[in-house]
Amino acid sequence: MKFTLSWLRDHLDTDAPLDRILAALNTIGLEVEGVEDRAAALAPFRIAYVVEAVQHPNADRLRALKVDIGDGTIRSVVCGAPNARTGMKAVAALPGSFVPGTGITLKAGEIRGVKSEAMLLSSREMGLGDDHSGIVDLPEDAPVGASYAEWAGMGDPVIEISVTPNRGDALAIRGVARDLAAAGVGTLKPWNPEPVAPAYPTPLEWAIDDPRACIQVLGRAVRGVTNGPSPQWMQDRLTAIGLRPINALVDVTNFFTFDLGRPLHVFDVAKVRGKTLTMRLGREGDEYLALNGKTYRPTPEDIVIADEAGVESLAAIVGGETTGCDAATREVFIECALFDPVRIALTGRRHQVHSDARARNERGLDPAAQRAMLEAATRMVMDLCGGEASTLSEAGAEPAWRREATLRFERIAGLGGSSIAPAKAVASLEALGFGVTARDDASVTVSVPSWRNDVASSRSAYRAGGTELAQEPGLDPARAAAAAEGADAVEAECDLLEEVLRLEGLDAIPSVSLPVASPLPLPALTPRQSRAALARRLLAARGLAEAVTYGFTARATAALFGEVPEALRVENPIAADLDQMRPTPVATLLLAAGRNAARGQADVSLFEIGASYAAPSPEGQLATAAGVRTGRTPRHPLEPSRPVDALDAKGDALAVLLALGVAPAALTVTTDAPGFYHPGRSGVLRSGPKLPLARFGELHPRVLSALGIDGPAVAFEVLLDSIPEPKRRRKAAPDLPAFQPVRRDLAFLVDATVPADNLLRAARGAERALVTEVSLFDRYAGDRLPEGKVSLALEVVLQPRERTLTDAEIEAVIAKVVAAVTKATGATLRG
Amino acid sequence: MADDLDTLRADIEAALAGAADLRALDAVRVAALGKSGQVTGLLKGLGALPPEERRARGAEVNVLKGEVERALETRRATLEAAALDARLAAERLDVSLPPRAAAPAGPEAGSIHPISRTMEELIALFGAMGFAVAEGPDIEGDWHNFSALNIPEHHPARQDHDTFYLTAPEGGRRPVLRTHTSPVQIRTMLAQEPPIRVIVPGRTWRADHDATHSPMFHQVEGLVIGRGIHMGHLKGTLVDFLRAFFGIADLPVRFRASYFPFTEPSMEVDIGWSRRTGELGQGGDWLEILGSGMVHPKVLANAGIDPRAWQGFAFGMGIERITMLKHGIPDLRPFYEADLRWLRHYATSPLSPFTLHDAA
């Protein structure tokens, strides 16, 4: 909310300088968003009189001036402005002053032999506009020597504060003044509007059709008004805070909105059909043209104001065009109403109207000030537009807003950590308008002022600021009841404590380090969290750069990578390409790889520890360590570059699994990876035959071409949530045999379709007591072999335990190994 | 349509169905639509017809031509897909082969994202103060994200949240992408008995996108529930953390009264910096850095905790924001771009994890 300093001073009697006011606002929770102090930049500039302007002796385009700035010295000034002339009033800057429009600090100088001891300024040089056709030409009555900014009426800083949603009362300049006064910055000026005597019976009556529609409404007409432009002072104020002056009657309503936080509405009586204005809920077919130029169709949940002809406005949100006041208005009817804040908030959301009236109504108005507000508004209308006032029309009643709250002084230290003395606390509350109703050594009970809807709001019948308890339904009933009772007991006290603390300033609370919970801290991470951290380090150590990409992407892109359930579609995406939760981070990582390729970086290795989304539930969010590699491996003189391949991705996935404690012996590979992988060059790493732990492979060419990526590209996904937590048990004693192991290399000829892993498994299983290790060290496929066959070479390690093996024993074991491999895979030993 | 056209169409369709590969398909195309194809011939023959017949016949032949063209295209797509599948099947790789012993590049080429680095630092620093890490889902129900945190449907604070919604299930409420990490406060209080000390680093989402806002970003939440935990502890915790995190022992920290629906009293926290140079710790300006407060009694009660017995504080801050401040990163958007040049510039080595005995 914006206001000017002079406007604030209408309500606040203070000598405090601007800085102190701003500091106080920040301290008490009315955060200063900005201050526009146009006068500050212009402070050094004085109104000057040009005593004489003659041609410069040595320059065609310059003039030599004698200038008086009212300090008794006549200065020589060289000036190039075409409009500089003897006898004019202008604005002068002296050496040392900063000229905002040029960004330079002025120095005295000499131009072609003539001294220049000041500068006369254009509008642009003062930063006040684009006019640079000449120096500013002031009227003859401008006082020489006076501050230009002050003379031009720019000495009134505009302050903008951010008002938190609880503080409806601070959406009024008077409310801000009240808070400042309570914080010790000046005194709040009295405000007691004098009633206006009625001169004729009201031409319109209020009716409340449904108690849900309106709590209380007052209205009053003024006839014989002249609705021209409002006076300059009001236009200046409204303009300063960013409002457009319309006409006097409308300006009065805007003025009240900001000055007193009281939205009003004015009807042109001549345009209202019938004698009754009705507050009711919307009906089927209701429709009206609002003052903002839009047409609204109220729903049965909205409050409308209707005359005989139909809906005139969405109450407390936006008024109607048809009964609005204009220059022809001769009789005006002023509405001052109080609505259910919750209903107003929901209506505003439903119709997406953000108006000053809505902002105040949904936060809550002063429910006790209805009559005073209407009297003040009536008086202002008559002051500005003339005329005479009618009697009051009224419907509904003031809500039961009166309530009390108690603060136990112990809580100031106990919850607030503050050492504010009880007497000081009570004084603060009183300064804010709370009335002490009871006090003893331990506590004070106060009545809550009508404008503070945010304090003890649960106990007010006017629902502003109130929230309902929303307990988890599964709670144990006794526990839930005790907790609810506890909240009811302490909530209002917290409200009071907040008031006491904020007026003193939270900086006054001593900081206390958190006491240790245990002498040494317990582990901060669960084993599951530690594993994600380990996966992150491991993948980065394998040369992948960690990325963080969006969890949503374009629906069409997501569809390339799996199911795109409607339940994971973003209903209100911020951009069309961010409308579906990603089925896997591989999708967004590939997009990132594509962006890098477009920047000339085709060899990309990226990973992300992030979510795959399978369903809109906690279980449907799968923690995934995913990565992509595109392009070729690095070039090196000793190691030729090659395209990345599926085994690179397998290496990444496998490394993560092994690091996270998965036993290699338990892992199997199947070739049924999801459809976005290359069907022949991808696999799923499983624990045992079933549980998938990771997927890897080349990307399907169709996916790559859809994303505009030139291959090769591989990806992997480790399903972190599926990896079982390693059991914590003591390690068995190590196996450290005393005899040297025996190594034998065996080459087999086998069908190319047989997975190499089958041979390894068969060999390992052949003689478990002696065969401790089998590994593949060569794979050959080529012309010298029969069609469809490959040669696979295995190293078999035998570990004797009791004694050294004889050659015959070794041969016997090797024969068993060969037989087992042949039996399992059809492979034959090569000669 | 004339009988001869029906017959021709049936013939062509049969030929298409019989075309087993792209070469056969092309033969069908030439036979039908080529220079001397059957359909082309019919079109050429139109000129010989009397004008009154020509128009009707011409229209029919053109319809046929269109149909044939579409059928050809459909068949071509099918055959191409089949050819690709066959090629891919032929390109089989034995994925049971063991991977190479080493990755194509080592730790010198890899990097840890600055967001992860900051999370690591947060975990180490708060971990030393006895906090554990809690987590929750990105997709939340309305109750966890709003109502349980004392933000009912009608609350003005909801406007500030720019919430993303997912499609509502049949007859149910729309899930939201959590707008803050605060729902994990609720999850934690429901899952464990006080005393509680947790931080919640995680992804958050808001429908806002410009130079200083990203639709997805990260927050860290803190929650402490105990007996006798008061605002002095909240201030002490934050001052201790901020000074350690930024490595400035006398970093000025300012506390301002504020409002959040889920805390009372609430406060915003500023740190001292220079607006002109961006340097932290001096310069006389203030920079808002986080929001905090004592947990609102209704929030405790919503999670079944009696606020007469337990009290505590909560705070939340933007991880990107403190990362940008600490490292002088000027722009938010590159955090999510995965531009390798940016990642290499701001990332940290995987071999130097943050530890408390190193400097922050």
| Alpha carbon separation from B227 to A415, B237, B292 (Å, rounded) | 10, 16, 18
Separation in Å, CA of B280 to nearest CA in chain A: 19
CB spacing of B164 vs A346 below 8 angstroms: no
SS3 for B318?
strand
CB spacing of B232 vs A510 below 8 angstroms: yes
Q: A335 labelled as ligand-binding?
A: no
**What are the DSSP E strand ranges found in A56-134?**
63-68, 74-79, 89-93, 98-99, 104-105, 109-111, 114-116, 119-120
CB spacing of B258 vs A164 below 8 angstroms: yes
Q: Is residue B145 pLDDT above 50, yes or no? A: yes
Q: Is residue A454 pLDDT above 80, yes or no? A: yes
Q: Is residue B21 pLDDT above 90, yes or no? A: no
User: For the CA atoms of chain B, what is the radius of gyration?
Assistant: 34
Confidence class for position A134, pLDDT limits 50, 70, 90: confident
Cβ within 8 Å of residue A640, ≥6 positions away: none
**Strand A104-105 to A98-99 pairing:** antiparallel
Nearest CA in chain B to A507: B255
**In 3D, which of B90, B85, B189, B198 has the Cα closest to residue B144?**
B189
Average pLDDT over residues A503-515: 95
Kindly report, residue by residue over B216-242, the tens digit of the pLDDT. Answer: 999 999 999 999 999 999 999 999 999
Kindly report, residue by residue over A734-761, the tens digit of the pLDDT. Answer: 989 999 999 999 999 999 999 999 999 9
Q: Copy the structure tokens of residue A640.
A: 């030729």
Among the residue ranges A626-640, A649-663, B145-159, the one predicted with the least confidence is B145-159
**In 3D, which of A70, A47, A72 has the Cα closest to residue A140?**
A47
Q: A745 labelled as ligand-binding?
A: no
Distance of CA A49 to the CA centre of its chain: 53
SS3 for B115?
helix
Domains of chain A: 2-37+156-188 (3.30.56.10), 40-151 (2.40.50.140), 205-396 (3.50.40.10), 404-506 (3.30.56.10), 527-722 (3.30.930.10), 742-829 (3.30.70.380)
**DSSP notation for A397-448:** -------EEEEETHHHHHTT-----HHHHHHHHHHTT-EEEEE-SSEEEEEP
Nearest CA in chain B to A362: B156
Mean pLDDT, chain A, rounded, equals 93
CB spacing of A346 vs B267 below 8 angstroms: no
Q: Copy the structure tokens of residue A477.
A: 């009933």
**Strand A667-670 to A828-829 pairing:** unpaired
Higher pLDDT, A689 or A54: A54
Is B36's Cβ below 8 Å from some Cβ in A?
no
pLDDT for the residue B1? 53
Average pLDDT over residues A47-60: 90
Higher pLDDT, A530 or A154: A530
Is B338's Cβ below 8 Å from some Cβ in A?
yes
Average pLDDT over residues A161-175: 94
Residues of B in contact with A652 (CB under 8 A): 103
Question: Looking at the partner chain, which of A483, A546, A650 has a beta carbon nearest the beta carbon of B116?
Answer: A546
- Interfacial B residues in 130-149 facing A (CB < 8 Å): 130-133, 135-139, 143, 147-148
Q: Is residue B160 pLDDT above 70, yes or no? A: no
Q: Which secondary structure element, helix H or strand E, spans residue B122, and what is its range?
A: helix B114-128
CB spacing of A574 vs B195 below 8 angstroms: no
Average pLDDT over residues A129-144: 83
Under CATH, what is the fold of the domain B114-346? Answer: BirA Bifunctional Protein; domain 2 (3.30.930)
- Specify whether the CB–CB gap between A661 and A726 falls below 8 A: yes
SS3 for A714?
strand
Count of pairs with CB atoms under 8 A, one residue in A, one in B: 419
pLDDT for the residue A312? 86
Q: Is residue A164 pLDDT above 70, yes or no? A: yes
Amino acid identity, residue A638? L
Q: Is residue B252 pLDDT above 80, yes or no? A: yes
Among residues of chain A, what percentage have pLDDT more than 90?
74
pLDDT for the residue B360? 47
Instruction: State the Cα angle at A49 between A48 and A54, rounded to 5°.
Output: 120
**DSSP notation for B12-73:** HHHHHHH--SHHHHHHHHHHHHSTT-HHHHHHHHGGGS-HHHHHHHHHHHHHHHHHHHHHHH
CB spacing of A345 vs B266 below 8 angstroms: no
Range among A61-65, A817-821, B64-68 rated most confident: A817-821
Residues of B in contact with A416 (CB under 8 A): 230-231, 265
Distance, CA of A515 to CA of A513 (rounded, Å): 6
CB spacing of B265 vs A521 below 8 angstroms: no
CB spacing of B340 vs A645 below 8 angstroms: no
Average pLDDT over residues A384-405: 96
Kindly report, residue by residue over B267-296, the tens digit of the pLDDT. Answer: 999 999 998 888 999 888 999 999 999 999
Average pLDDT over residues A701-706: 94
Residues of A in contact with B297 (CB under 8 A): 486-487, 490-491, 494
pLDDT for the residue B267? 95
Is B95's Cβ below 8 Å from some Cβ in A?
yes
Distance, CA of A796 to CA of A814 (rounded, Å): 8
Among residues of chain B, what percentage have pLDDT more than 70?
98
Q: Is residue A831 pLDDT above 80, yes or no? A: no
pLDDT for the residue A239? 85
Separation in Å, CA of A185 to nearest CA in chain B: 17
Kindly report, residue by residue over A579-612, the tens digit of the pLDDT. Answer: 999 999 999 999 999 999 999 999 999 999 999 9
Q: A398 labelled as ligand-binding?
A: no
**In 3D, which of B89, B87, B84, B71 has the Cα closest to residue B18?**
B71
pLDDT for the residue A795? 96
- Interfacial A residues in 16-35 facing B (CB < 8 Å): 26-29, 31
Is A481's Cβ below 8 Å from some Cβ in B?
no
- Specify whether the CB–CB gap between B240 and B250 falls below 8 A: no
Kindly report, residue by residue over A191-232, the tens digit of the pLDDT. Answer: 999 999 999 999 999 999 999 999 999 999 999 999 999 998
- Interfacial A residues in 315-374 facing B (CB < 8 Å): 341-342, 345-346, 349, 354, 359, 362-363
- Specify whether the CB–CB gap between B251 and B281 falls below 8 A: yes
* Beta bridge pairs of residue A92: A46, A120
Confidence class for position B32, pLDDT limits 50, 70, 90: confident
Domain boundaries, chain B: 3-90, 114-346
CB spacing of A469 vs B298 below 8 angstroms: yes
DSSP-derived letter for residue A43 is T
Nearest CA in chain B to A682: B95
Is A549's Cβ below 8 Å from some Cβ in B?
yes
Q: What is the pTM of this model?
A: 0.86
Separation in Å, CA of B360 to nearest CA in chain A: 18
Distance, CA of A308 to CA of B29 (rounded, Å): 74
Q: Which secondary structure element, helix H or strand E, spans residue A698, and what is its range?
A: strand A691-699
pLDDT for the residue B2? 64
| Alpha carbon separation from A494 to A55, A293, A490, A508, B269 (Å, rounded) | 75, 44, 6, 18, 20
Omega before A367 within 30 of 0, i.e. cis = no
pLDDT for the residue A565? 95
Higher pLDDT, B71 or B115: B115
Distance, CA of A337 to CA of A483 (rounded, Å): 37
Q: Is residue A130 pLDDT above 80, yes or no? A: no
Classify the phi-psi angles of A133: left when phi > 0, otherwise alpha if psi is within -120 to 50, otherwise beta. alpha
Kindly report, residue by residue over B309-320, the tens digit of the pLDDT. Answer: 999 999 999 999
DSSP-derived letter for residue B357 is T
SS3 for A701?
helix
Nearest CA in chain A to B128: A521
Amino acid identity, residue B347? A
Distance, CA of A289 to CA of A297 (rounded, Å): 9
Q: Is residue A128 pLDDT above 80, yes or no? A: no
Sign of the alpha-carbon dihedral angle for B35, B37, B43, B44: positive
SS3 for B243?
helix
Cβ within 8 Å of residue A383, ≥6 positions away: none
Amino acid identity, residue B116? S
Cβ within 8 Å of residue A140, ≥6 positions away: A89
- Supply the ipTM of this predicted assembly: 0.88
Classify the phi-psi angles of A145: left when phi > 0, otherwise alpha if psi is within -120 to 50, otherwise beta. left
Distance, CA of B175 to CA of A725 (rounded, Å): 31
Is A548's Cβ below 8 Å from some Cβ in B?
yes
SS3 for A546?
strand
Amino acid identity, residue B242? L
pLDDT for the residue A201? 97
Residues of A in contact with B205 (CB under 8 A): 551
DSSP-derived letter for residue A457 is G
Average pLDDT over residues A516-529: 90
- Interfacial B residues in 203-222 facing A (CB < 8 Å): 203, 205, 207-209, 215-216
Average pLDDT over residues A496-525: 94
Distance, CA of A323 to CA of A307 (rounded, Å): 10
Separation in Å, CA of A752 to nearest CA in chain B: 8
Q: Is residue B336 pLDDT above 90, yes or no? A: yes
SS3 for B297?
helix
Average pLDDT over residues A223-246: 90
Question: Looking at the partner chain, which of B93, B264, B311 has a beta carbon nearest the beta carbon of A646?
Answer: B93
CB burial of A402-420 (b: ≥16 within 10 Å; e: otherwise) equals ebebbbbbebbeebbbbeb
Distance, CA of A3 to CA of B292 (rounded, Å): 28
- Specify whether the CB–CB gap between B161 and B177 falls below 8 A: no
**What are the DSSP E strand ranges found in A596-662?**
604-613, 621-630
Is B302's Cβ below 8 Å from some Cβ in A?
yes
Q: Copy the structure tokens of residue B309.
A: 């017995």
- Specify whether the CB–CB gap between B347 and B113 falls below 8 A: yes
Q: Is residue A105 pLDDT above 60, yes or no? A: yes
Q: Is residue A252 pLDDT above 60, yes or no? A: yes
CB spacing of A701 vs B84 below 8 angstroms: yes
DSSP-derived letter for residue A209 is S
| Alpha carbon separation from B162 to A104, A363, B137, B209, B299 (Å, rounded) | 43, 19, 18, 11, 22
pLDDT for the residue B52? 81
Instruction: State the Cα angle at A680 between A679 and A686, rounded to 5°.
Output: 80
Nearest CA in chain B to A162: B258
Omega before A477 within 30 of 0, i.e. cis = no
Is B265's Cβ below 8 Å from some Cβ in A?
yes
- Specify whether the CB–CB gap between A61 and A87 falls below 8 A: no
